[in-house]
Structure 1
């Protein structure tokens, strides 16, 4: 049974698992899948080689030398194919690598450097590299199994199963190559990139508990501070399950001080302890993970950050693509509408007895609205397509959000109207730019 639970019950979405930080970190690497595939292919080749040896031994025991001769002929024909595949696979790998580099360069220049991680996390890209490398390694191993002895009485093994396995891997490689090209072309289209970002953002929101954050002072006084003693970097995630377990074992409540996505330096406090003395340092080792960049794991605001960056890039004079900015605004409004009525500001985690053990800060409603609209609003003046879509989005959110959350929306609406009035001298142009339109200029 798990040592912890999220506040709000099963309807609040799936709870994060203990191994999810490791899983997310591996997804952000590109080496794991190819290395795992090459290790697996060694095991598969060893099994196939043993099967080939036993097949030949069984036929020789039965003195069925005619069948052995037929297998030797098949192996000779397959050897030519395996040799050709071995030399061609490196060319395929080079083509895939070149396509990936071009796609990453274009996405980084046209959209945002933050979207590069989408290509790094692409399952089809990793699977294609992994299968291609595994096929190349398999062909080398199979070629070592071919012998020069053609006497059916003396031959010890014929790479029959190994050759068939190689042909299967070639077919799988070709299928993955077609899927990879299709996936890469999709990811080079901004609409699919934005859709992938929003999908990740919704998955993060679904894993966060929806319990009401504790009121100020409800946790009692701070009894100890835990300082960050690792390297400086962006706070990527925390091991929630372990922190809850440590807090339960020592009878304390832990409160994470920085938000996920904040930059932390050694010596700054990362955890506040409420209730008793601080747990021993070794118990909290490796519960806080930092890296060189933000990730989606546990970071509620990272999706809005990427969408805002894409819109800003599109509105820059070098790109000048307001339609892309409108597409980003569509998804910003969609995400804000989804979280407009859920508790924010903090995620609360309890142990299996229902006692509060961990409080993790998350962006509040005002923080998310400002993140989604502030910078775009500053660059939208002069682009009526964007101002009209922004006004329509603010009006839609004002209808969906509770009354106590309408203040930041009305503030952005008023500031946008003031900016348009200052920079647009013509009354007709001002009226046109300040007319809400969900398509921008429909």
Structure 2
């Protein structure tokens, strides 16, 4: 259940309406509080300093209607600017990066502030009365609307600056990089060499003949797996569950998500309980997918290398960030994707995530799309040399060496200039030298 609500919260965070909706609710509550205070002061007159608005009902209506109309206009302009920024970002960096712009707190709070101010002025305007001898002017509320209008001028200036800087390539790459760093702290919190408990008794597989597959209820991307729920079902049913996919994989309706093995017949009601442990959606999410942000950086680099954009410097920036992430991962423990009960019996197993797999996800596509770009190819080898200097295990060394060899071999036959080939050989030799020093 926790996994389900975390998935829903991730969906809400990526929406463009949540923060503006919350600010509108705050504006409604603020109107009730301030107008109630004004009514109380109107019934029991208290001498207040003559600061700000001190006019009558018509003046209050004029001010509130002017501010409300201005806020609607400014909100429309801000929304139009946001759409233009999203269009540019989609064409230059890829449509999957729109998620980063939509969840940007700056854009959400700016739009929410304009809409909330409009709602505030509209509701305060409805409380102003000036007919039949009964005059009520909420002075505090009107003065507060003037303060909000002044604040919104600053918000508009901030928004223009924020949009102008947020669509710059370096800032986009840095934003994805920071998100990827957060994912590493979440998925790989332990340092390499930390003590990990090894179960005393391990049953690698069940010896019984009862097996059942868990089919996918719909096609799409496996967004999350409730491992705690699966472990509880494995304990209560005395069975072993083997997952076929990790979060982030695409599944087809009816394909096997998992295989349940048991030494006794399994109950029919177990099917629905197992189905509820998997969340399949239309798009990938970073909740349980450590390669999600890596693929975003790779997409930016690949699009930068396309003939239509031809921006090798952005691609090299992505390579630098990816190499920095992989240097960090060399010191993090990739635990076997197996979960045991207190007695040491294997309950749940899923395809393991390895350093070589993350390295391939980071460099393969960039290597394949940079066949004609010498600078990016050289930067790939420089990044691998940087990673090689941080390697701690033989498996990491083999992965780096294999990736460097693929880059070197693919470029030697495609570079017509001897000096370029010499540069490639020098960078390739630097990778091998770093590996030999370990």
Matches of 1:140 and 1:30, distance apart in 2: 23
Matches of 2:61 and 2:4, distance apart in 1: 47
Pair 1:180-2:155 in alignment: no
Selected match of 1:93 from 75, 81, 86: 75
Contact 1:385 1:433 in 2 (8 A): no
Query: For each residue in 1:123-165, what CA deviation from the matched residue of structure 2 results, as whole angstroms up to 9, or x when unmatched?
Result: 11111111211111121111111112384xx44x432333233
* Equivalent in the alignment of 1:167: 146
Pair 1:340-2:330 in alignment: yes
Selected match of 1:51 from 26, 37, 40: 37
Bigger CA drift: 325-334 or 251-260?
Answer: 251-260
Contact 2:56 2:137 in 1 (8 A): no
Shift of 1:80: 2.4
Contact 1:300 1:363 in 2 (8 A): no
Shift of 1:113: 1.9
* Equivalent in the alignment of 2:302: 312
Return closer, same or farther for 1:432/1:65 CA change in 2, 3 Å cut-off.
closer
SS in 1 for 2:131: coil
Unmatched segments (≥5 aa) in structure 1: 4-15
Pair 1:435-2:426 in alignment: yes
Matches of 1:319 and 1:130, distance apart in 2: 34
Instruction: Considering Cα pairs closer than 8 Å and 6+ residues apart, tell me whether 1 or 2 has the greater RCO.
Output: 1
Shift of 1:213: 10
Selected match of 2:395 from 399, 404, 414: 404
Contact 2:242 2:348 in 1 (8 A): yes
Return closer, same or farther for 1:71/1:194 CA change in 2, 3 Å cut-off.
closer
Pair 1:134-2:100 in alignment: no
Aligned residues: 415
* Equivalent in the alignment of 2:84: 102
Contact 2:247 2:289 in 1 (8 A): yes
Return closer, same or farther for 1:71/1:261 CA change in 2, 3 Å cut-off.
closer
Matches of 1:249 and 1:123, distance apart in 2: 43
* Equivalent in the alignment of 2:250: 263
Bigger CA drift: 283-292 or 352-361?
Answer: 352-361
Query: For each residue in 1:310-359, what CA deviation from the matched residue of structure 2 results, as whole angstroms up to 9, or x when unmatched?
Result: 11111112222211111000011111111124333754567899987554
Return closer, same or farther for 1:91/1:349 CA change in 2, 3 Å cut-off.
farther
SS in 1 for 2:221: strand
Unmatched segments (≥5 aa) in structure 2: 191-195, 431-438
Return closer, same or farther for 1:364/1:95 CA change in 2, 3 Å cut-off.
same
Query: For each residue in 1:209-262, what CA deviation from the matched residue of structure 2 results, as whole angstroms up to 9, or x when unmatched?
Result: 556899997254684332222x32112223445445555555555443212111
* Equivalent in the alignment of 1:300: 290
Give TM-score scaled by structure 1 length: 0.82
Shift of 1:93: 1.0
Contact 1:225 1:269 in 2 (8 A): yes
SS in 2 for 1:429: helix
Give TM-score scaled by structure 2 length: 0.83
Query: For each residue in 1:387-425, what CA deviation from the matched residue of structure 2 results, as whole angstroms up to 9, or x when unmatched?
Result: 211111112222322222222221221222222211123
Pair 1:30-2:20 in alignment: no
Matches of 1:177 and 1:72, distance apart in 2: 28
Return closer, same or farther for 1:175/1:355 CA change in 2, 3 Å cut-off.
farther
Matches of 2:119 and 2:242, distance apart in 1: 49
Bigger CA drift: 70-79 or 380-389?
Answer: 70-79
Selected match of 1:226 from 188, 191, 214: 214
RMSD (CA atoms): 3.5
Return closer, same or farther for 1:366/1:102 CA change in 2, 3 Å cut-off.
same
